[in-house]
Structure 1
Amino acid sequence: MASRHRSRERALQMIFQWEASGDEPEQVVASYWNGLATEIGQPAPAEDQFANSLLHGVARRAKSLDDLIRKHASNWKLERMAAVDRNILRLAVFEMQQGDTAPVVAINEALELGRRFSGEKSARFLNGVLDAIRKTLERQSANAVE
């Protein structure tokens, strides 16, 4: 079984491919795993169900994720963000909303992805946006309990 971090890397790559191609998530999943098999010169490792589920969740909720990101990325238009940053934000916000991953873990993973795929400045940007979203989600959750 793949580590959660590796799964998030794979999910990010698939989300990036999904956005760039406009293909349905199932097509992206098949293409990604077939491409990985070709790249490593042997049958692909067992498909990573966590990575696949992250892609499907982000694709299914892209509009609401984008709306939340727009609201918290002050002075940034979603369309003008670097594609990798935009997709890291989508992935992290989806995980925070799902509730299966602690928000601090989702944010830390997003920062690691940002450093690896985009750079240190990106990580600072991601941290600011994601922390603002985390606070909003916590307030909404607290209000729902009351």
Structure 2
Amino acid sequence: MGDRRQSRELALQALFFLDINKADQGLEAFCDERTEELTDNVKPFFMDLVQGVTKGMDEIDDLLNRYSKNWKLSRMPVVDRNIMRIAAFEILKRPDIPPSVSINEAVEIGKKYGTRDSGPFINGILDRIRLEFE
């Protein structure tokens, strides 16, 4: 697995952790548990993703709500919601990453960690977001 994929998967896990635990435990607690995985090659992109998503959460969640037909953000599976947050952050704030790469990565991670419906669900919403920002 490449460093960026590992960063994205760990960012998903961290955002899931923060989503479930709310303010009980923070990012530092998550990172303390994963020191071996957060290598010097993985940690910078991981931190950029997690901090970028958490700082831009309102804007990102507004987009996800706008483009998810018949789904409120609160009803989405936690895994899918956080995968899409990461990809939406990349589409909005990382012009060095082509949107198609962000979407493909999100779909593949969704297939790995989500349900059998995660891939198409994630792809549909992120593609609508991509079209707005092209």
Code of the aligned partner of 1:59:
T
Could you give the per-residue CA deviations for residues 82-133 of structure 1, whole angstroms, max 9, x where no partner exists? Answer: 0010101110000011112100000000001100100331101001111111
Could you give the per-residue CA deviations for residues 29-77 of structure 1, whole angstroms, max 9, x where no partner exists? Answer: x21222124xx7xx96446111011000000000010000100001101
Other-structure match for 1:34:
32
Code of the aligned partner of 2:33:
G
- Shift in CA distance, 16/80, structure 1 to aligned 2, threshold 3 Å: same
Report the TM-score when normalising by structure 2. Answer: 0.89
Report the TM-score when normalising by structure 1. Answer: 0.82
Two-structure CA RMSD over aligned residues (Å): 2.1
Q: How does 1:71-110 map to 2 (within 5 A)?
A: 71-98=66-93, 99-110=95-106
Other-structure match for 1:68:
63
| From 130, 134, 137, the counterpart of 2:130 | 134
| Count of equivalent residues | 131
Higher percent of residues as helix: 1
Tell whether 2:123 aligns with 1:123.
no
- Shift in CA distance, 44/90, structure 1 to aligned 2, threshold 3 Å: closer
Structure index of larger Rg? 1
Identity of aligned residues (%): 37
- Farther-moved stretch of structure 1 (89-98 vs 13-22): 13-22
Q: Relative contact order: is structure 1 or structure 2 higher (C-alpha 8 Å, sep ≥ 6)? A: 2
**Conservation of the 8 A alpha-carbon contact between 1:34 and 1:44:** no
1:125 and 1:134 map into 2 onto residues whose CA distance is 14
Other-structure match for 2:17:
17
1:55 and 1:132 map into 2 onto residues whose CA distance is 23
Three-state SS of the structure 2 residue aligned to 1:76 is coil
1:96 and 1:3 map into 2 onto residues whose CA distance is 19
Three-state SS of the structure 1 residue aligned to 2:14 is helix
